[in-house]
């Protein structure tokens, strides 16, 4: 099972479409101008979809902020955080500190970076880690790697 679709209320479907296609690289699927709705594909093979609902629509009129997490590989997470910053999109960690360095939530364990779209929706790029869970850990990816290397008796590489 996986998430197939999510929908967000937005103040401008065109501004949001540009953000999600140009900044995140989602693929345009369909625009219904009569209803002011844009649909975007997330990933390959039409496996997941994001709907953007304009302010005049049923779902867009409530204009509440939402949260979406996009699963990526760890190398892609590291690359995307730097890329977002280069595009002027501020990124931050789990503690809401400005950084391009992912944080790690140990109970999953996962590495992630957070940022916001033009409407203030909280977006997350998340990479699940193959390490053993450590429920008490929340910190930077560097700290996670150092802790893992220390428990294995090796020096972490950078």
**Topology adopted by domain 1-64:** 2,3-Dihydroxybiphenyl 1,2-Dioxygenase; domain 1 (3.10.180)
- CATH for 65-158 is 3.30.720.110
Token representation of residue 91:
């990124």
Taking the model in full, what pTM does it have? 0.78
- Which runs of E-coded beta strand occur in 10-151? 27-32, 37-42, 48-53, 67-71, 103-105, 110-116, 122-128, 138-140
Q: What is the pLDDT of residues 7-54, one digit of tens each?
A: 999 999 999 999 999 999 999 999 998 889 999 999 888 889 999 999
Q: For the chain, give every domain's residue range.
A: 1-64, 65-158
The Cα–Cα gap between 31 and 112 comes to 30
The Cα–Cα gap between 48 and 41 comes to 6
Helix residue ranges, H only, the chain: 13-18, 74-86, 141-152
Q: What is the pLDDT of residues 105-157, one digit of tens each?
A: 999 999 999 999 998 898 999 999 999 999 889 999 999 999 988 876 665 55
């Amino acid at each position: 099972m996986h998430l197939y679709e999510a929908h967000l209320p937005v103040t401008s479907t065109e501004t949001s479409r540009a953000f999600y296609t140009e900044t995140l690289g989602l693929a345009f699927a369909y625009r219904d101008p009569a209803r002011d709705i844009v649909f975007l594909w997330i990933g390959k093979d039409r496996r997941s979809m994001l709907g953007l609902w304009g302010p005049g629509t049923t779902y867009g009129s409530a204009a509440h902020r939402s949260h979406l997490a996009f699963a990526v590989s760890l190398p892609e997470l590291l690359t995307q955080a730097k890329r977002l910053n280069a595009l002027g999109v501020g990124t931050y960690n789990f503690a809401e500190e400005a950084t391009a360095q992912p944080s790690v939530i140990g109970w999953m364990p996962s590495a992630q970076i957070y940022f916001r779209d033009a409407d203030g929706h909280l977006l997350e790029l998340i990479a699940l880690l193959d390490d053993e869970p450590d429920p008490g850990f929340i910190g930077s990816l560097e700290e996670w790697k150092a802790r893992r290397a220390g428990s294995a008796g090796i020096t972490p590489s950078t």
